[in-house]
Amino acid sequence: MFSAALRRFQEKWRSYRYRFVPWVVFNLPKNEKTLRLVADRSEDKVVSDEQVTESLQRLFRALLRSSGGLLPGDHRVPTHQEQKEGEVLFQSLGFCVERRPSSLPSAGTGVFVVKGVVPKGAPVVMYPGTVYQPYEPILLQSIRNPFVFRCIDGVLVDGNDKGISRMVFRSCSGRDRMGPYLTSDTSWLTDSPRNPLAVGQYVNNCSNQRPANVCYQEYDVPKSFPIELRQFLPNVNYSHCTQRPLRCVVLVSLRDIPAGEELFSNYYTIVR
Ligand SMILES: C[S@@+](CC[C@H](N)C(=O)[O-])C[C@H]1O[C@@H](n2cnc3c(N)ncnc32)[C@H](O)[C@@H]1O
């Protein structure tokens, strides 16, 4: 009985320790190899914003075609094979990613490359969720929520697909619709997202044994991003009135990643 209680405690601790500041500080030296010191947002770029835009638009155009939506000047009929989002991802970017049980014991779900090879410097997955400016209220949503991602400038992205977080995302997404156009995608809240990249909140933390193969990169969606492609963006602003461009976070590959590998990022980025 005592050993069962101890096991339960150990499991809870393993899952909680990433949010326990003294543990994080004590373990920083162990993560030195992958630890990133970031002084300002421009230092955070592994690839240029233009490259991120290009990759996302290539995939979103293909997803739009496969769902039957034709782009201006585009008269192609979608083939049956294109119906599956994973296949569309493979055809457009050369790899597929999926959520699966992590290769680490008691780490829950992780994200794996399941087909093809991710080349170095590619946006591999996106971090979905509601975007909060530093002054906006997130207290309730953040309680016992390991999915809140903090950007370098204090902007927060709540990638939890359950509870209040889920309701807030759905409500903000419905609110921001522009006439016939949706400006964000709520399907990342389900088991089969329309945008197959929208699983980045499930990427687990690296260790010395499992070094990071992806890193977070913040991406502000440019004004020129086509309105008909915004329906695949898995992020929405909490406040309708925010003047800032929509913040997205992509995870970019640090090296070539073959099929079969789990993605690992570094949760500890220190802002100087
Ligand atoms: C953002 S979530 C990642 C997705 C998570 N694996 C899940 O199934 O919900 C962060 C949580 O994942 C777990 N986790 C992440 N990296 C881990 C690791 N290297 N070892 C054990 N647990 C880990 C911890 O419970 C942490 O609080």
The neighbour count for residue 260, using CB atoms within 10 Å, is: 10
Domains, the chain, in order of start with CATH, read 1-31 (no CATH), 37-271 (2.170.270.10)
Asked whether this complex has an ipTM greater than 0.90, the answer is yes
Q: How far is the CA of 217 from the centre of ligand 1 (A)?
A: 19
How far from the centroid of its chain's Cα atoms is residue 113's Cα?
Answer: 14
The number of the ligand 1 atom at minimal distance from the alpha carbon of 210 is 19
Pairing status of strand 235-237 against strand 129-132: parallel
Q: Choose one of 13, 14, 15, 208 to mutate for the ligand 1 pocket test, by most ligand atoms within 8 angstroms of C-beta.
A: 15
Q: Tokens 């070539």 label which residue? A: 256
The number of the ligand 1 atom at minimal distance from the alpha carbon of 19 is 27
Q: Tokens 């977070």 label which residue? A: 216
Instruction: Give me the pLDDT at residue 271, please.
Output: 47
pLDDT digits (tens, 9 = 90+) for 171-230: 999 998 888 889 999 999 999 999 999 999 999 999 999 999 999 999 999 999 999 999
The number of the ligand 1 atom at minimal distance from the alpha carbon of 205 is 16
Tell me the C-alpha distance between 245 and 222, whole Å. Answer: 7
Q: Which residue has better confidence, 16 or 133?
A: 133
- Global confidence as pTM: 0.85
Query: In the chain, which ranges are continuous DSSP H helix?
Result: 2-16, 21-27, 49-66, 85-93, 139-142, 163-175
Residues with CB under 6 A from ligand 1: 14-15, 18, 102, 104, 106-110, 146-147, 201-202, 204-205, 207
Instruction: Give me the pLDDT at residue 147, please.
Output: 96
Q: Is 38 exposed, middle or buried (0-12, 13-18, 19+ CB in 10 A)?
A: middle
Q: Is pLDDT at 150 greater than 70 in this prediction?
A: yes
Q: Choose one of 21, 31, 102, 199 to mutate for the ligand 1 pocket test, by most ligand atoms within 8 angstroms of C-beta.
A: 102
pLDDT digits (tens, 9 = 90+) for 20-77: 555 555 565 554 444 444 555 556 688 999 999 999 999 999 999 998 765 555 555 5
Within 8 A by CB and 6+ apart from 127, the residues are: 149, 157, 159, 200, 201, 216, 248, 249, 250, 251
